[in-house]
Structure 1
Amino acid sequence: MMENSPILGSVIVLVAWSLVMWIWMYATRIPAIAAAKMELDPNAPNGQQMAQLPPKVRWKADNYNHLMEQPTIFYALAITLAVLGEGEGANAMLAWAYVGLRIVHSLVQVLVNKIEVRFTLFSLSTLPLFALTYNAATAFFSAG
C-alpha cells in the first residue's frame, strides 16, 4: 500500500470546496427559481432560462462550472506527483497555493464578481500549475 502523500490533502480540500460551491449554488438557485415562478422548459436553449435569474444567483453556478474546468489539470498533476513519490515539499506548497488562490477566486466571484480581481487571481493560480507541470515532467522523464 502506498503511503499518504502530503499533496493529496490539497486535492481533498479542493474537492470539498467544489462541493461547498455546489450546495451554495443550489441553495441560492432553487429559491430564486421559485421566487421568479419559473417553469423549467427542457426545450429552452442551454442557459436561456438561468439567464433570467439575478446575477448574484448566477455567479454561484458560474463559479461551480469554473471549478470543473481548470482544476482538472490540478487534480491530474497532484495525483501524478503523489504516484511518482514527489508529493511533498515544494510540490505540496505549490498545490496548497493553487487551492488557496482558487478558493479566494471563488469568494470574489460569488460575492462581488470584480472581473479585474478575478482575472488576477486566476492568472496567479495558474502559475503553480506551470511549476507543478514542470516538476511532474522532470520527475517522470528523469526516472526512466
Structure 2
Amino acid sequence: METNAILGPVATLALWSMIMWVWMYATRIPAMSRAKIDAKNLVGTTGRGLDDVLPAEVQWKAHNYNHLMEQPTVFYAVALALAIGGMGGGLNAQIAWAYVALRIVHSLVQATVNRVMWRFAIFALASLALIALCLHAFMGFVLH
C-alpha cells in the first residue's frame, strides 16, 4: 500500500486554494475599480470591510478563500501526520480525496449560487470525512 497516497489530496486542495485566490482577485480588483476604490490609499482595513462596498457575488469568492484557510488547516495537519506515520494510503487516501472533492464543490457553490443550505450540507459531509481522518490518526497514533 502506498502510504504517501494521501499527499495527492493535500497537493490538490493547496492548488485549489490558489485557484480560488486567483478567482477572488480576478473579480475583486475590477469590482474595486468600478466602485472607485483606490486601494493605494486604503489604510487599516480588511477584505471584510469591502462587504459593504462590493457586490455580494464578488465577495463570495473572498469569503470562500477565507474558508479554505480555516478548517482545511486541520486536514493538512492530519493528512501529513497520516503520511508520516505510514497510514496515508488505502481508506485514508480515499477519505482524503472525498474531503477535497467536497471542499471543491463547496467552493463552487459558494462562489456562484451561494445557497446556504447547499453549502451547509456539503460542509457537513466534508466535516464528517475530516472527522474520520482525525479518528484514524488518533487510533493509529494514540491507541496503537
TM-score, shorter chain, exceeding 0.5:
yes
What is the CA–CA distance in structure 2 between the aligned matches of 1:138 and 1:54, rounded to whole Å? 46
| TM-score when normalising by structure 1 | 0.92
Question: What residue is the counterpart of 1:140 in the other structure?
Answer: 141
Instruction: Give 5+ residue unaligned stretches, structure 2.
Output: none
Bigger mean CA deviation after superposition, 124-133 or 40-49: 40-49
Matches within 5 A, 1:1-144: 5-40=4-39, 41-44=42-45, 47-143=48-144
Structure 1 runs, 4 residues or longer, greater than 3 Å off: 43-46
| TM-score when normalising by structure 2 | 0.92
Instruction: Give 5+ residue unaligned stretches, structure 1.
Output: none
The CA RMSD over aligned residues, in Å, is 1.6
What is the CA–CA distance in structure 2 between the aligned matches of 1:133 and 1:104, rounded to whole Å? 21
Distance 1:31 1:91, change over 3 A: same
Native 8 Å contact 2:3 2:87 kept in 1: no
Distance 1:77 1:62, change over 3 A: same
Q: Alpha-carbon deviation of 1:44?
A: 4.6
What is the CA–CA distance in structure 1 between the aligned matches of 2:47 and 2:29, rounded to whole Å? 17
Count of residue correspondences: 141
